[in-house]
Amino acid sequence: MKLMPIAPEASAVFDVPKNKGYRFLSEPLLHFVVVGVVLFGAYRLLAPAPEEVVDQQTINLTKDDVRQLAVTWLAQGRPTPTPDEMRSLMDQKVTEEILFREAVSLGLDRDDEIIKRRLAQKMDFLAADLATLDEPDNAQLKEWYSKHSDRFALSPHLSFRHLYFSSDKHSQAAREAAAAAIPAVSGKPANSPEVASVADPFMFRNYYGDATPEQMAREFGPGFAKALFTLTPGSWQGPVQSGYGWHLIWVDSIEPGRVPAFEEVAPAVKSAWLDERYEEVKNNALKEMRSRYFVNLPTVTAEDLQGLEVPAGASAQIELSAQ
31 falls within a domain: no
Count structural domains, the chain. Answer: 2
Residues 104 and 179 in one domain: no
Angle 123-96-306 from CA coordinates, rounded to 5°: 165
Do 290 and 228 reside in the same domain of the chain? Answer: no
Q: Is 298 exposed, middle or buried (0-12, 13-18, 19+ CB in 10 A)?
A: middle
pTM for the whole structure: 0.48
163 and 139 assigned to the same domain: no
Per-residue pLDDT tens over the stretch 283-295: 888 888 888 899 8
Is the residue at 1 inside a domain?
no
Inside any domain, residue 40: no
User: pLDDT at position 13, please?
Assistant: 43
pLDDT given at position 27 = 60
User: Is there a single domain that holds both residue 101 and residue 230?
Assistant: no
Instruction: Check whether residue 80 and residue 143 sit in a common domain.
Output: yes
In a domain, 29, yes or no: no
Are 145 and 176 members of one domain?
no
CA nearest neighbour of 157 among 259, 86, 254, 71: 254
Average pLDDT, the chain: 80
More confident residue, 99 or 5: 99
Distances, alpha carbon 184 to alpha carbons 157, 198, 199, 205, 256, in Å:
28, 8, 11, 22, 30
Please indicate, yes or no, if residue 64 is contained in any of the structural domains.
yes
Residue 280 and residue 133 share a domain? yes
Residues 186 and 96 in one domain: no
What pLDDT sits at residue 176? 93
CATH number at residue 193: 3.10.50
Same domain, yes or no, for 94 and 176?
Answer: no
172 lies in which domain range?
Answer: 157-255
pLDDT at 7 over 50: no
For residue 12, what pLDDT band results from cuts at 50, 70 and 90? very low
Residue 61 is assigned to a structural domain of this protein: yes
Q: Are residues 120 and 265 in the same domain?
A: yes
On whether residue 22 sits in a domain, the answer given is no
Per-residue pLDDT reduced to its tens digit, 68-84? 899 988 888 888 889 89
Residues 148 and 220 in one domain: no
Residues 228 and 285 in one domain: no
In a domain, 68, yes or no: yes
